Protein backbone atom coordinates (compact mmCIF):
# COMPACT_ATOMS: atom_id res chain seq x y z
CA UNK A 1 0.00 0.00 0.00
CA UNK A 2 1.08 3.55 -0.54
CA UNK A 3 0.53 6.77 1.30
CA UNK A 4 1.33 10.35 0.55
CA UNK A 5 2.21 12.81 3.26
CA UNK A 6 1.82 16.51 2.51
CA UNK A 7 3.85 18.74 4.82
CA UNK A 8 2.99 22.43 4.80
CA UNK A 9 3.98 25.42 6.89
CA UNK A 10 1.40 26.49 9.44
CA UNK A 11 -0.64 29.56 8.65
CA UNK A 12 1.12 32.66 9.92
CA UNK A 13 4.60 31.12 9.66
CA UNK A 14 6.66 33.22 7.25
CA UNK A 15 7.65 31.21 4.16
CA UNK A 16 10.72 32.85 2.55
CA UNK A 17 10.88 30.17 -0.17
CA UNK A 18 7.25 30.70 -1.11
CA UNK A 19 7.94 34.44 -1.25
CA UNK A 20 10.93 33.92 -3.57
CA UNK A 21 8.86 31.69 -5.87
CA UNK A 22 6.15 34.34 -5.88
CA UNK A 23 8.64 37.02 -6.92
CA UNK A 24 10.07 34.76 -9.63
CA UNK A 25 6.58 34.10 -11.05
CA UNK A 26 5.93 37.83 -11.14
CA UNK A 27 9.30 38.31 -12.83
CA UNK A 28 8.19 35.90 -15.57
CA UNK A 29 5.16 38.05 -16.16
CA UNK A 30 2.55 35.91 -14.40
CA UNK A 31 0.17 38.40 -12.86
CA UNK A 32 -2.67 37.51 -10.54
CA UNK A 33 -0.69 35.33 -8.13
CA UNK A 34 -1.80 36.45 -4.68
CA UNK A 35 0.44 34.26 -2.54
CA UNK A 36 2.70 31.19 -2.75
CA UNK A 37 3.39 28.68 0.00
CA UNK A 38 5.95 25.92 -0.57
CA UNK A 39 5.67 22.53 1.10
CA UNK A 40 6.86 18.93 0.76
CA UNK A 41 5.33 15.75 -0.60
CA UNK A 42 6.65 12.51 0.89
CA UNK A 43 5.57 9.21 -0.70
CA UNK A 44 5.62 6.13 1.50
CA UNK A 45 5.57 2.55 0.22
CA UNK A 46 4.20 0.64 3.20
CA UNK A 47 3.62 -2.97 4.25
CA UNK A 48 0.00 -4.04 3.72
CA UNK A 49 -2.11 -3.37 6.78
CA UNK A 50 -0.05 -0.44 8.10
CA UNK A 51 -2.49 1.45 10.26
CA UNK A 52 -3.37 5.10 9.83
CA UNK A 53 -2.29 5.89 13.37
CA UNK A 54 1.17 4.42 12.65
CA UNK A 55 1.56 6.75 9.67
CA UNK A 56 0.42 9.63 11.86
CA UNK A 57 3.06 8.64 14.40
CA UNK A 58 5.71 8.73 11.64
CA UNK A 59 4.61 12.26 10.79
CA UNK A 60 4.72 13.48 14.38
CA UNK A 61 8.07 11.83 15.18
CA UNK A 62 9.98 12.70 12.02
CA UNK A 63 8.28 13.72 8.79
CA UNK A 64 6.87 17.03 10.06
CA UNK A 65 8.11 19.46 12.68
CA UNK A 66 4.80 20.26 14.35
CA UNK A 67 6.25 23.46 15.84
CA UNK A 68 6.06 25.05 12.39
CA UNK A 69 4.44 22.51 10.07
CA UNK A 70 1.11 20.77 9.51
CA UNK A 71 0.75 17.43 7.78
CA UNK A 72 -1.99 15.69 5.84
CA UNK A 73 -2.00 11.97 5.01
CA UNK A 74 -3.54 10.55 1.86
CA UNK A 75 -3.76 6.74 1.81
CA UNK A 76 -3.81 5.22 -1.64
CA UNK A 77 -5.24 1.68 -1.88
Count of beta carbons in the 10 Å neighbourhood of residue 4: 13
Site string for another protein, 41-60 (x = CB under 8 A): --------------------
Check binding of 5 to another protein (CB under 8 A): no
Site string for another protein, 6-25 (x = CB under 8 A): -------xx-xx--x-----
Complex with another protein: residue 16 or 77, whichever CB lies closer: 16
In contact, 76 and 15? CB cutoff 8 Å: no
Residue 68 has φ and ψ, to the nearest 5°, of -125, -10
Amino acid sequence: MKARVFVTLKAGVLDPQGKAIHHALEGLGFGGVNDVRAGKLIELDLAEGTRGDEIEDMCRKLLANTVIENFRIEQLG
